[in-house]
Structure 1
Amino acid sequence: MSITAPRQWFATCPKGIEGLLLDELKSLGAITARETVAGVHFDGPLALGYRACLWSRLANRILLPLARIEAQDADELYRGLMTVAWDEVLGPEQTFTIDFTGENAHIRNTQFGAQRCKDAIVDWFQQRTGQRPSVDRKDPDLRFNVRLSRHGFLLALDMSGGSLHRRNYRLQAGAAPLKENLAAAVLLRADWPGMAARGGALIDPMCGSGTLLLEGAMMAADIAPGLHRPRFGFERWRDHNPLQWQALLADAQGRAARSRQLQLPEIRGYDADPKVVRMAQENIARAGLESVVRVSCKPLSELQKPSHMPLPQGLLVCNPPYGERLGEKASLRYLYRQLGETMLREFPGWQAAVFTADNDLARATGLRSHKQYKLWNGALETTLLLFDLANNRLSEPKSGERQPAILPGGELSAGAQMFANRVRKNRRRLSGWVRREGVSCYRLYDADMPEYAVAIDIYGEQVHVAEYQAPSGVDPEAAATRLQEVQAALPEALAVAPGNIVYKTRQRQRGDEQYRKQGDSGEMHTVTEGRAQLLVNLRDYLDTGLFLDHRPLRLRLAAEAEGQDFLNLYCYTGTATVHAALGGARSTTSVDLSNTYLGWLRKNLAHNGLDESRNLIHRADCQQWLHTCEQQFDLILLDPPSFSNSKKLDDAFDVQRDHVPLLHAAMARLRPAGVLYFSTNRRGFKLDEEVQETYSCENITRETLDPDFQRNARIHLCWRVTRLG
């Protein structure tokens, strides 16, 4: 086919930006264009396909249709693909892969559909040449797209060779990153190119890894979004025209070089998280835009328009956190309100664009948007709101609403300020101990002021907040107000981003409820304790996998474990086992009934380079296991639940009622000179007199409480138990 002959093309894109993509393709030279759901059909010569791959800021993929196959089942599809002249597309020495989409009554699995397509291509070459191309899913020479619809199958060559949203400048991103082509759509809807042409500035006050800023800079600097991609899908296609492609590539390189010589707009970004800011700086450097885009660490509460920017126009754009992954909605309402106040106070006369998946949060800004657009971030429906800050004002709280914990101007309410002061005071009090002992995880606050009934734990750079269930006599409205003040105060008091704070409600638990899953993030963080690297999950369970009050006991076990056989009963996630193993234990044995937590233990062991040859794991009821075990141990940790009525057990367990036979069974496994540590967090627990008369029982509770738990001496009880004599 002549390189100037029109061809039919199809560009895919996120839902909601089809109209923008249609306009973009027309500007690139499409002869005709027609939008459909999540894509645009367009016509034009080969050069247009190349140009779309190189210059489209919005498309996911550029597809070149090769054949339409009228078929309904996999066998008919196979026969239809056998009629394609495959030697005009690829050679038998090349590799390929199939992206298959769609299902029907005959093909219910996309993997099966892709397999039949692969069979057809391989068999075609085998029958005609005696050779066969290979499948390579990671880095194929060519990628084919087969889409099933009610009209049959459409076979297309993926000219892009992978999603075009990957510009190759972002190797790192923060949580919930915004895809580059969706960021470009946000900027185009907000008319950033027009504003940049008029000399306006671009500021993102919550820039994350810098995606919006970099897309804005590439638009202003006339840089083709595909310029730094390592390879396109068409480059190993048999009908590829290298000379024409090189001409288009050279033109794009020349345009980018010429634009860099011009005065480009001011583009600035800020974020409260220094780690995320470092990611953004690395991404900016990778894009070669350090002289254009500048980012720095600054919380939203400190944002001001730079003094050298007396510009009457500019665009303030951001994608604030939303949803369960990045923070609780109740606390984020105050973040959005502060965003609205800051935009209006610091950027009068500017335009603003806020991209969010939560319309309630968007309304919490208190500002009136003059345009709203529905966009889709994958399957998630999102909204882009545009604000004219020249003619806007903050709405007053509705009658009957609770007074905000963040007042106009960004100041905390009296209650929130009082709570913030207590948190800062606690942090100062513990700072010397934290620094001296190298503690990275500790309790900062535990209902010190009864009206603020929460426990606040620091886990490295993350914060875990557990709200205690309010007593029946407490007004629920008052409790909700107190929690809102906590949520408003913590980001400022601790200088952390709201997305790094996790909130949970701690209720009275029955059975094994504290171990039941609360979410599905699967998000693990590594924290350091002594020599151990331990994995915690702050979101998915009521507890995190690391009981902070047992820190001194774990470190004691590590110090006493060298050359010992260690037994960890009711081992939970095995943090004590890891400490004992790193402390030089000859062997460790861990027993628990939960597959979930034994799996967590295995991860903790592997995370510390410990294998299971000397660190044995048993899934069993500890009481039953003790009666069948014949091994003896030098060091035993017995930390049973206060109460359990797990379905896996025949009878309910109550530590007050059942601790005597349990201790006897555990002591039977202890060598004569061995030590057993018995701990419980049961309030009001009394160690039975029979146990105290039978063994030497030393109450070491005070020795097992570090400064962060000394205000709450009832957090647990602990005894060192040895044989008499």
Structure 2
Amino acid sequence: MIEQSTENLAFTATCPKGLEGLLAEELRELGAADIREQPAAVYFSGPLVLAYRCCLWSRLANRIMLRLQQVRIGDAEDLYRAVAAQPWEQHISPSGKLWLQFSGTNREIRNSQFGAQKAKDAIVDRLRRQSGARPVVDKQSPDLTVALRLHRDKLDIAIDLSGDSLHRRGYRTHIGAAPLKENLAAALLLRAGWPKIAEAGGALLDPMCGSGTILIEGAMMAADIAPGLLRESFGFERWLNHQSDIWNQIREEALERRRRGLERELPEIRGYDADAKVLFAAEANIARAGLERQVRVSCRPVAALKVPSHREIKPGLVLTNPPYGERLGEQEALRETYAELGRQLKSEFGGWLAGIFTGNPELGYETGLRSHKQYQLYNGSIPSQLLLFHILEQSADKAAEEGARKLSAEAEMVANRLRKNLRTVGKWAQKNGIDCYRLYDADLPEYAAAIDLYRSVDGQLFAHVQEYRAPASIDESKARGRLRDLVRAVQQVLEIPQRSVSIKERRRHSHKGGQKGGSQYQKQAQLQKQTGAAAFWVSEYGAELEIDLWTYLDTGLFLDHRPVRRYLREQARGKKFLNLFCYTASATVQAALGGCVQSTSVDMSKTYQAWSARNFRRNNMDPYQHQLVEADCLQWLTSAQQNRRAHYDLIFLDPPSFSNSAKMRGVLDIQRDHATLIRQCMALLAPGGTLVFSNNLRSFQMDESVKTEFSVENLPLLDKDFQRNPKIHNVWKVQSK
């Protein structure tokens, strides 16, 4: 029996796919420890009181389950013995009501119904042997729900503490034609930053509110109302280990918080819909939630959408889940609806944040708005996106128009090219959830620069402009003028301030003796001090990585290597990974998130090793499992061979084309030295391992002796944003023959 509420127990919270990160943060705020994300689930630990609190307060979870044991099984008899070994008499009365949920199969247990039957027999037989009585199977009102999940040879045995799915709050008895689940609506509000907006007094509007789910969830957040307060029951209430005194105390605290929350003046929360019938459902749901005074709905088409005028309204959030159509004809008809929504937002809601959740992101473009942030989510089984938009103030719109008129004809030409690229590469990046990408790469030869966009995790947009070396025949002042045109076009098209644009400017300079030499990028440390610019974090496939656009030549993330990092992540599960010339170790972060069991990242730069350590901490990487080594890679490889260090399953070798650093014993010339480097790496590979070798020397040719000695395959790892420049890097897969 569980006698003390402080005993540390293991739990699983399940959730819709795509909400794992949000749920992990919510559980952390509720007091959970040992948090670990899994697809559609989060593992955590804590006392029983934590499980009660999660059942009552989680806005995102579907279920909270108490994990009893994970065991290895092969066949049906193993399953029977593993389940029968659990002390079920501590959890359910022999004459109680039992329900089992079984998911998964393996090579021997190929049917989940068969697995459920075998597990039920094991529980019933154990209880009958001990007491002479047996529980009955009851799906509708069980005293205990046992959840079993089989994956290959591992069986997770758990007790479902939640009962009915936690997304069913109890207020929604009436639903519209395409209902949005309550926990998904809560996730949209959290992603859009509604709690902070509400705290500042900003309003919440839903112009296509349907049955009112977004509005109700928003009001419950603003009023500090526990989402589980209206539920009739939870799964733990008839469990033998239920501690009713603790549960009653938690529930009373929640009731008191609700009372205080509703006494406060809440921000304006309003919903509209063109369908009067569906608003009856919304009103009924709002009443059942006890929020009639806080949430109001009325019949109004999108074309009539305006800021409520009956009281002073602070700019806030417009969030909606419009229809997106499953058939082509429906989609065509909806284009005007989305376009009208965009027109009203631009004309009436300057200074507001808008969010559109849709299963058809292409329709989102019909608004004529450019989203500053996109989140990939699932509405049931439908891949969907939450698109967030900052709506400019009218004065800002006018300023942008004036800025456009002031652009020179040449700058306007650049601006048009940037707009065109946003419609192609930008849409591609948005569709694929890519926040950092190359927008422009000397598309117009006279404007020779690369422009990269970086979207921070908090939604800010930055542009990184790197000027290419101008021919000696181009006048210096003319080159400067073209760069100014380019930068002004970037600011005007992207609608970002000067402080959000980093410029790496090449300038010819004179050496001693007055001879003109090469060129260099001018440092921007002074500009950084003046503008307050600083490093920030971006997201790439779930990894968060530090970016600095101002202090160094490079930003901390080689964007052309994005598909290389994705490839390494896909190959890394269960493997030992070595990253040589690791730079800021972004490839190691991806490998770790891909499931590598151990990693070593080598670079001789103190700066980059410190940067890598920050990336590791940000992504909760264990420093004992993922080692950073400050060393010359050439010396480290020689030493590793001599000392016969442990072999690696996956190695990433990405050296510079040329290096004569003072910290190195010799000079590295990748064309000359690559065969030696590859052989040294291959000597460290475990049987069946893979070396991924990359370099950015455009004239690079692989040594024929390497091709003879090993299996060598050129990997075409280049995303859409770098296809104008296919020679930007070479990537090779090398394996033993």
TM-score for the superposition, normalised by structure 1: 0.53
Distance 1:57 1:180 in 2: 8
User: What is the match of residue 109 of structure 2?
Assistant: 107
User: What is the match of residue 268 of structure 1?
Assistant: 270
Q: Which amino acid aligns with 1:228?
A: L
Q: Is the 8 A contact 1:207 1:269 kept in 2?
A: yes
Distance 1:149 1:113 in 2: 12
1:357 aligns with 2:359: yes
Distance 2:51 2:208 in 1: 36
User: What is the match of residue 347 of structure 1?
Assistant: 349
Identity score, percent: 54
Select which of 12, 15, 18 maps to 1:13: 15
Distance 2:227 2:194 in 1: 16
Distance 2:169 2:329 in 1: 28
Q: Is the 8 A contact 2:274 2:300 kept in 1?
A: yes
Q: Is the 8 A contact 2:10 2:68 kept in 1?
A: no
Distance 2:299 2:115 in 1: 49
Select which of 41, 44, 55 maps to 2:43: 41
Shift of 1:237: 0.8
Structure 1 segment 170-569 matched on structure 2, within 5 A: 170-324=172-326, 328-390=330-392
Indicate the larger mover: 1-10 or 101-110.
Answer: 101-110
- Which digits, 9 at most, give the CA deviation of each residue in 1:654-681, with x for residues without a partner? xxxxxxxxxxxxxxxxxxxxxxxxxxxx
User: What is the match of residue 99 of structure 2?
Assistant: 97
Shift of 1:298: 1.1
Q: Is the 8 A contact 2:319 2:354 kept in 1?
A: yes
Show structure 1 runs of 5+ residues with no match. Answer: 400-725
Q: Is the 8 A contact 1:69 1:81 kept in 2?
A: no
Show structure 2 runs of 5+ residues with no match. Answer: 402-415, 421-737
Secondary structure in 2 matching 1:361: helix
Distance 1:291 1:326, change over 3 A: farther
Q: Which amino acid aligns with 1:90?
A: I
Distance 2:147 2:87 in 1: 16
> Which 4+ stretches in 1 moved above 4 angstroms?
391-396
Select which of 117, 120, 123 maps to 1:121: 123
1:143 aligns with 2:145: yes
- Which digits, 9 at most, give the CA deviation of each residue in 1:121-166, with x for residues without a partner? 1111122211110111122122111011134110111010121000
- Which digits, 9 at most, give the CA deviation of each residue in 1:314-358, with x for residues without a partner? 100000001328971110111111111111111111001100011
User: What is the match of residue 30 of structure 2?
Assistant: 28
Q: Is the 8 A contact 2:49 2:247 kept in 1?
A: yes
Q: Which amino acid aligns with 1:46?
A: L
Distance 1:383 1:143 in 2: 34
User: What is the match of residue 166 of structure 2?
Assistant: 164
Q: Which amino acid aligns with 2:22?
A: L
Distance 1:309 1:219 in 2: 22
Secondary structure in 2 matching 1:126: helix
Q: Is the 8 A contact 1:122 1:133 kept in 2?
A: yes
Q: Which amino acid aligns with 2:252?
A: A
Shift of 1:310: 4.2
Q: Is the 8 A contact 1:52 1:62 kept in 2?
A: yes
User: What is the match of residue 640 of structure 1?
Assistant: none
Secondary structure in 1 matching 2:100: strand
Distance 2:51 2:169 in 1: 18
Shift of 1:73: 2.3
Q: Which amino acid aligns with 2:225?
A: I
Distance 1:376 1:334, change over 3 A: same
Shift of 1:120: 1.1
Secondary structure in 2 matching 1:91: coil
Secondary structure in 2 matching 1:99: strand
Distance 1:372 1:129 in 2: 57
Secondary structure in 1 matching 2:367: coil
Q: Is the 8 A contact 1:176 1:326 kept in 2?
A: no
The higher radius of gyration belongs to 1
Distance 1:108 1:165 in 2: 30
Q: Is the 8 A contact 2:105 2:152 kept in 1?
A: no
Q: How many residues align?
A: 398
Q: Is the 8 A contact 2:325 2:334 kept in 1?
A: no
Q: Is the 8 A contact 2:98 2:144 kept in 1?
A: yes
Secondary structure in 2 matching 1:306: coil
- Which digits, 9 at most, give the CA deviation of each residue in 1:466-502, with x for residues without a partner? xxxxxxxxxxxxxxxxxxxxxxxxxxxxxxxxxxxxx
Select which of 45, 50, 53 maps to 2:52: 50
Secondary structure in 2 matching 1:328: helix
Shift of 1:390: 2.1
Q: Is the 8 A contact 1:323 1:329 kept in 2?
A: yes
Distance 1:343 1:310 in 2: 18
CA RMSD of aligned residues (A): 1.9
Q: Is the 8 A contact 2:201 2:314 kept in 1?
A: no
